[in-house]
């Protein structure tokens, strides 16, 4: 039975989401628990997240043995065996054709900032001194649309097609934190962190919206430093 899982995890404790030779990924940890309960299925993630990147709504699908009919019980058992840094939020049966990666229509990422860092949030928020909300709100809208993101991706990621469509962007304050939100069909490696890095330079007054347009249109490669991974979350995947 093809089954869809929605999970969350603390990325600071893993070497990314996809399986690694050292066995220290989120996928590796889930597969370990699968074997404990006699599930010998591979996992198909909706997409990869890098080392130190978190998720509140990562999705994967796996084919379960026919005897796993009680998904509430399965969820309880998985969460009992998994470390607290990985939680299964939801499980449901899907069609045999469902593919968590290829059938995803929209992926939502959030990048979280604070001007009030503490000893306990440094791996989950990015701390900056000051926020100019108007500057960021104006600049972030420039990413909306279809663009060739050659200057906003990590070199060596072996992607031939660098064109992506950003459906929506926003920047807002929630209590004591500030949030960048990006909605797209898919993303290149480190794309969001590079976009946020550029926006933070605009926030600081060191770059401008005009600079962003030059880089977005591939007329000039101005800024190449991604923002910290700690503030980045895969929030939701739409199908």
Catalytic residues: 50
Of 170, 158, 152, 30, which Cα lies nearest the Cα of 108?
Answer: 170
* 159/180 Cα distance (integer angstroms): 25
Q: Is the dihedral of CA 25, 27, 29, 31 positive or negative?
A: negative
Measured distance CA(232)–CA(53) in Å, rounded: 5
Cβ burial, residue 128 (10 Å; 0-12/13-18/19+): middle
The DSSP bridge pattern shows strands 2-9 and 54-63 to be antiparallel
Neighbours of 84 (CB within 10 A): 9
Three-state secondary structure call for residue 232 = strand
d(CA 37, CA 22): 22
């Amino acid at each position: 039975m093809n089954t869809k899982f929605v999970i969350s995890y603390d990325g600071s404790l893993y070497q990314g989401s996809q399986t690694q030779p050292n066995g220290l990924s989120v996928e590796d940890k889930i597969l370990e628990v699968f074997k404990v309960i006699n599930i010998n299925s591979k996992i198909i993630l909706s997409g990869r997240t890098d080392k130190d990147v978190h998720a509140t709504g990562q999705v994967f699908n796996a084919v379960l043995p026919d005897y796993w009919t009680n998904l509430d019980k399965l969820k309880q058992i998985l969460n009992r065996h998994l470390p607290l840094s990985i939680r299964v939020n939801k499980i449901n049966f899907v069609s045999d054709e469902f593919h968590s990666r290829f059938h995803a229509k929209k992926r939502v990422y959030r990048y979280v900032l604070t001007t009030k860092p503490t000893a306990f949030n440094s791996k989950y928020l990015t701390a900056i001194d000051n926020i100019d909300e108007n500057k960021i709100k104006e600049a972030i809208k420039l990413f909306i649309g279809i663009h060739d993101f050659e200057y906003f991706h990590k070199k060596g990621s072996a992607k031939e097609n660098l064109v992506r469509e950003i459906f929506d962007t926003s920047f807002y304050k929630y209590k004591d934190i500030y949030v960048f939100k990006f909605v797209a069909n898919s993303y290149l490696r480190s794309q969001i962190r590079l976009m946020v890095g550029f926006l933070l330079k605009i926030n600081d007054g060191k770059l401008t919206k005009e600079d962003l347009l030059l880089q977005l249109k591939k007329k000039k490669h101005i800024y190449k430093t991604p923002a910290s991974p700690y503030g980045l979350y895969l929030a939701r995947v739409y199908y």
